[in-house]
Amino acid sequence: MTALFDNIVGQHLAVSLLTRALEQGASHAYLFTGPPGVGKSEAALDFAAGLACGDQGCATCSTCRRVLEGLHPDVEVVAPEGNFIRKEEITEINLHAAYRPYEARAKVYVFLEADSFNAEAANAFLKTLEEPPGHVHFILVTDRPERMLPTIASRCQPVAFASVPAPALAADLVRRYGLAEADARLTARVSGGNLSYARELVTSDGARRERNLLLDMARDIPGASLMDTQVALDDLMASVEARAAEQASGADAELEQALEWAGDARTKAWLKKRHEEKIKRRQRRAHTQGLRTVTRVFSGWYRDLALVAAGAGAAVLNQDRLDDLQRLADPKALQAYTNAISAVGKAEERLRYNVDARLTIGDMFFSIKEALIQWPMS
Ligand SMILES: [Zn+2]
């Protein structure tokens, strides 16, 4: 039988907090924080279902199922379209929030990347957050709580998510996908506690191919010619785009299924619009996460090289690449590896501000090459 929060792994503290809130009465605003890919957005939808459902979140009724699909009229998911959540959007939410729920027990607004309110939007939101209508709940989700306005954060109940412990992650991969123990342990390790990346690696050929591509690039950059580097950059960007495009596959079938819930033409039109927004949001998210995967795999590789160079091979993330790592790691290059990791960190920071991705990654390649060139890697 399905239960709420079944899809969340290794987050006992957060899940018990939320379960208790559903049993004993929930606050008006929650702030979900924690590293990317550990299940915060999924948990937000689970919790929203619990708040909206007449049965504290049975996970099976039509209300629950529609909330979990992101297609319930009383549960709205808000995410920035560009860099920011804008004031116009908040003004509309303030207006709508005042009305009673359409059919559920409560109205819920889930804000993804809640650190991206611009100043006007934050001010407009504060008024509603201070005195929300009784039937309204807000769930704010962010992996960068340090960028939240304190006035907003302080009015929310904090719910902290943590990196998924490797053993819990591996056990989940065995249970959910029937993976062999050794494969599950390797995948859990490689993903560094990022649940959604681990699941992607299990379920998507594209994700596995991309990981290999990225690791090869990270390995070969120091010796690569300018032309090789350009080709690598093209391959990498194409791979990120392709993986984002994958998110639209199956969208038509999903919509068809969703339309079964719709009675009249007006509801059908509404569902269609909501569904399109959802797919767009998913693609945007896949694109952002794709770029994050690039930087994560790159910094993981140089971190692994540094670990092997320092004689700590057992701590390596990419255990399946241990041979390569042992062949290449040079104890004299420890500082160079650290510089390469820091170049990746800089690129990651720039990518968060939606700067030109191709240019940023090109610069990253260059800085890595510069950091490592004194130590021939192959
Ligand atoms: Zn339900």
CA 18 vs. chain centroid, Å, equals: 20
74 CA → ligand 1 middle, Å: 14
7 CA → ligand 1 middle, Å: 16
pTM of the complete model: 0.89
pLDDT of residue 27: 95
136 CA → ligand 1 middle, Å: 18
Phi, psi of 109 (to 5 degrees): -115, 125
236 CA → ligand 1 middle, Å: 42
Distance CA 80, CA 180 (A): 39
97 CA → ligand 1 middle, Å: 22
Rg (CA), the chain: 22
pLDDT of residue 83: 78
24 CA → ligand 1 middle, Å: 17
pLDDT of residue 270: 84
54 CA → ligand 1 middle, Å: 6
124 CA → ligand 1 middle, Å: 32
65 CA → ligand 1 middle, Å: 7
Q: Kindly provide the b/e burial profile for residues 35-62, where b requires at least 16 CB atoms within 10 angstroms of the residue's own CB.
A: ebbbbbbbbbbbbbbbbbbeeebbbeee
Residue segments in the chain with a per-residue pLDDT below the cut of 50: 376-378
Residues around ion ligand 1, judged by CB within 5 A, are 53, 55, 58, 61, 64
55 CA → ligand 1 middle, Å: 6
pLDDT of residue 139: 98
104 CA → ligand 1 middle, Å: 10
pLDDT of residue 8: 95
Which tens digits make up the pLDDT trace of 205-246?
Answer: 989 999 999 999 999 998 888 889 999 999 999 999 988 888
pLDDT of residue 378: 45
